[in-house]
Structure 1
Amino acid sequence: MRIATYNVNGVNGRLPVLLRWLNETAPDVVCLQELKAPQEKFPEEAINDAGYKAIWHGQKSWNGVAILSKDHDIIERRRVLPGDDEDLHSRYIEAEINGIIIGGLYLPNGNPAPGPKFDYKLSWFKRLQAHAAGLLSEKVPVILTGDYNVMPTELDVYKPERWVDDALFRPETRQAFKTLVDQGWTDAIRKLYPDQKIYTFWDYFRNAYGRDAGLRIDHFLLSPQIEGKLKVAGVDKNVRGWEKTSDHAPVWIELAV
């Protein structure tokens, strides 16, 4: 079973790229972030024609998350991260697919830091930690995946000295991610490739993709009940080089289920 996460950076504007990638790689489940489309503008028909069912939580101009499934039913569990009834951002969606709980998330960027946006990022992280702990307590297979907007270590960022004051790399952000993982989650990429330079995002500016000046900010966290099923993981880096593509590349794992 192949599960992927992909920040599409605008599902309608990048739809040809998304459909081409789905056709070429045929993942079983896909979590999408940054739809940048209101609920009624999600391209459901095109996704269905590509062979996928979908649930989504849109938002005009910003954010937005979705889960696609090729062969299995999607049993929606929630589409809001609990803990703040006033938070209207579309950043979390959760479903059960083939006996696995899958949470797709788009964590706030947080820049400029310090400031209100950084405070929101850290508060969102705390809500995620609380919800993740609850999921672990269910003792069932769980995957939390998406754009976390955090580089956990210096290995995950090109020239880390240039990012010390950025919200994605500040000590508070990295500690929040570590606190989450230390609950008992497994970082799938680092389990398989503990010392390898792997990036999932390359800025549009300064020829970042051509220079491989990237960041690893899209992650898979696996609960103990499914961590042992992990067989392979990777990044479809070539997709970042396609015309009119997202600044992220799809990231995927394969499970023996």
Structure 2
Amino acid sequence: MRLATWNVNSVRARVDRIVDFAVREHIDVLAMQEIKCKAEQFPFEAFEDAGFHVEAHGFSQWNGVAIASREPLTDVQTAFPGMPGFAKDHEGPDAPLEARAIGATVGGVRVWSLYVPNGRALGDPHYYYKLEWLSALQQYVQDELGRNPDEALALVGDFNIAPTDADNGDPTIVQGFATHVSPPEREAFAALEAAGLQDVVRPRIPTGFTYWDYKQLRFPRNEGLRIDFILGSHSFAAAVTGAAIHREERKGKAPSDHVPVVVDLDLTGPEDDDDRPMIFG
């Protein structure tokens, strides 16, 4: 399986480019974030014509997530247990859920496409929502892997966190003064790893960014952030055979401000091993 994640920054504005990438790079499963459309507005036909099944979750021109797969997607969920909601000037546990998560099983792998809240600014209500959202996600991972420690689980997407100083090349984002690099956010990312997940790309690609702001020539100056990740359980990580960050996708006509992150997996295992999940190649 070749699995990719990409914050596409409007699927309708970039559908041709996205489908072309998926076909050209032989992607089997593509997790998308920030699709910026309602589910019924998603350009399903373009993906289906290219041989993909698609599940999309979106409410408006903001946020939104989707998964496209060569094989059918099953057990689709549009929120993980305990996921909090958010609305401006809304307090309490009944805030509406945003379209920030979609999970599905494909080829024996449980994949979640996640668009973690931005946080906006330190001290902003959205910042505390982000931390609450991440805490609930960590609890879900802990519970899920506690029930099934051998599950091939992958959390992929735009985490809006630069976990280390090396992941921040934007001079305007300074620790202590900005989101994405604050200690609580980095601690929340570390908590996901402590719950049983691994960054499966970093061991193969130790450096490199996945996002560059459109402003101030950030991309030509390579002043970016590494905020898009593929985090996998032990079983998932053990199956990774390769990884890539497709920096070139930040170039050309009307690119997203993020680039795809890709991993190759082999989960077939020995023919006589009935305990490992079977997966299409």
User: Shorter-chain TM-score: which interval?
Assistant: over 0.9
1:22 corresponding residue in structure 2:
22
Partner of 1:153: 164
Give the alignment partner of residue 186 of structure 1, picking from 168, 192, 198: 198
Structure showing greater Rg: 2
Tell me the number of residue pairs that the alignment of Structure 1 and Structure 2 aligns: 254
Paired with 2:214 and 2:171, the residues of 1 have a C-alpha distance of 18
Q: Residue by residue, what CA displacement relative to the aligned partner does 1:54-93 show, whole Å, maximum 9, x if unpaired? A: 00101211010001101x2210331113213533200001
Give the Cα separation in 1 of the matches to 2:173 and 2:161: 15
Mapped contact 1:17–1:244 kept (Cα < 8 A): no
TM-score normalised by structure 2 residue count? 0.87
Q: CA deviation at 1:227?
A: 1.3
- Unaligned segments of structure 2, at least 5 residues: 85-93, 268-281
Aligned pair 1:174/2:167, yes or no?
Answer: no
Query: How far apart are the structure 2 equivalents of 1:25 and 1:250?
Result: 11
Q: How does 1:1-257 map to 2 (within 5 A)?
A: 1-70=1-70, 72-83=71-82, 84=84, 86-137=95-146, 138-139=148-149, 140-158=151-169, 162-164=173-175, 165-193=177-205, 196-257=206-267
Whether contact under 8 Å (2:170, 2:224) holds in the other structure is no
The offset of 1:30, in angstroms, is 0.6
Q: Within 2, Cα distance between the matches of 1:16 and 1:225?
A: 34
- The DSSP-based 3-state class of the residue aligned with 2:118 is coil
Instruction: Supply the AA of the counterpart residue of 1:175.
Output: E
In 1: Cα distance, 2:114 partner to 2:170 partner: 26
The answer on whether the counterparts of 2:199 and 2:229 sit within 8 Å (CA) in structure 1 is yes
Which stretches in structure 1 are left out of the alignment for 5+ residues?
A: none
Cα-to-partner distance string for 1:212-245 (whole Å, 9 max, x where unaligned): 1111000011101221111111111101102111
Identity of aligned residues (%): 35
What amino acid sits opposite 2:179 in the alignment?
A
Contact 1:154 1:160 in 2 (8 A): no
Q: Answer 1 or 2: which has greater helix percent.
A: 1
Could you tell me whether the CA contact under 8 Å between 1:156 and 1:198 is conserved in 2?
yes
Counterpart CA distance in 1 for 2:170 and 2:7 is 23
Give per-residue Cα distances to partners, 1:16-65, cap 9 Å, x unaligned: 22122122212010100001001210111111012110001012110100
**CA–CA separation in structure 2 for the residues paired with 1:129 and 1:28:** 27
CA RMSD of aligned residues (A): 1.4
User: Which stretch has the larger CA shift, 13-22 or 237-246?
Assistant: 13-22
SS at structure 2 position matched to 1:191? coil
